[in-house]
Amino acid sequence: MSTRREIHDRVLNASNTEELMTAYSEWAEKYDNDLLGEMGYVAPMIASKLLLSHLEDKGARIMDAGCGTGIVGELLHRDGCVHIDGLDYSPDMLEKAREKQIYQSLSRHDLTKPLDITTNTYDAVISVGTFTCGHVGPEAMNELIRITRPGGGICFTVREQAWEEDGYRTRLRGIENDGLWELQELRTADYIQQEGARCKICLYSVTA
């Protein structure tokens, strides 16, 4: 059995999807305890509060994209949100999310590919811990925009290392220049405190 640090390193440095899914399968059982209890994973709390501060209706339909074990969904549910769906590509992580009984629906999707979800389905989308090293790149943003209704919000984190290396600044600005969304807030915040990791937390309003 790998140590927590070894699994986390494998997650960040996976060279393909198979390696990433294998690492998450091994980590799923202890994921919440390791990240929340030991590593100081605070990004979910910060991002969920940001989304909630701009959410007019707790009955809004929300997609938790890259939901993992359901950490973000659990936070939203505690704050009164009742219509939360989730998607992730790891079956083992989804099973842990399902055990929490807070999602209306959970499905397995690869965020690097088109989503089998009707356009304008959601009032808001949140994605925490997905746009990071070795995971999903900025090209997935257009699908998140497509499934969000005009006027809806999209809140997501980007690990700072990925922000610089994967061209997020240019890609996100290009989407805004295309008239698809407007930036509401961009902040730099703690991501995983134990390792000193920081992230960008973005909130956009969909315009088209």
What pLDDT, in 10s, does the model give residues 66-98?
A: 999 999 999 999 999 999 999 999 999 899 999
Q: 170-204, pLDDT tens digit by residue?
A: 999 999 999 999 999 999 999 999 889 999 999 99
Q: Is residue 151 part of a domain?
A: yes
60-69 confidence digits (pLDDT tens) = 999 999 999 9
According to DSSP, the residues that pair with 64 across neighbouring strands are 86, 126
Residue 154 lies in a domain: yes
Q: How far is CA 111 from the centre of its chain?
A: 10
pLDDT in tens, 103-126: 999 999 999 999 999 999 999 999
Q: How far apart are CA 79 and CA 33, in angstroms?
A: 21
Residue 115: inside a domain = yes
- pLDDT bracket for residue 149 (50, 70, 90): very high
* pLDDT at position 161: 87
- Structural domain includes residue 28: no
Is 25 a domain residue? no
Distance CA 148, CA 145 (A): 5
CATH of the domain at 125: 3.40.50.150
Helix 4-13 to helix 17-27 angle (10° resolution) is: 160
How many domains, the chain? Answer: 1
CB 157 within 8 A of CB 129: yes
The reply to whether 18 falls in a domain is: no
Asked if residue 2 belongs to a domain, the reply is no
Give me the mean pLDDT over the 122-146 stretch.
Answer: 91
- Quick one: pLDDT band at residue 12, thresholds 50, 70, 90? low
Mean pLDDT, range 140-169, rounded to an integer: 95
Q: Is 181 helix (H, G, I), strand (E, B) or coil?
A: strand
Q: How much is the pTM?
A: 0.90
φ, ψ of residue 27 in degrees (nearest 5):
-90, -20
Q: Which strand (E) or helix (H) includes residue 191?
A: strand 181-192
Q: Pick the residue with more confidence: 28 or 176?
A: 176
Q: Which domain holds residue 159?
A: 40-206
Tell me, what's the pLDDT at 166?
A: 87
Within-domain flag for 4: no
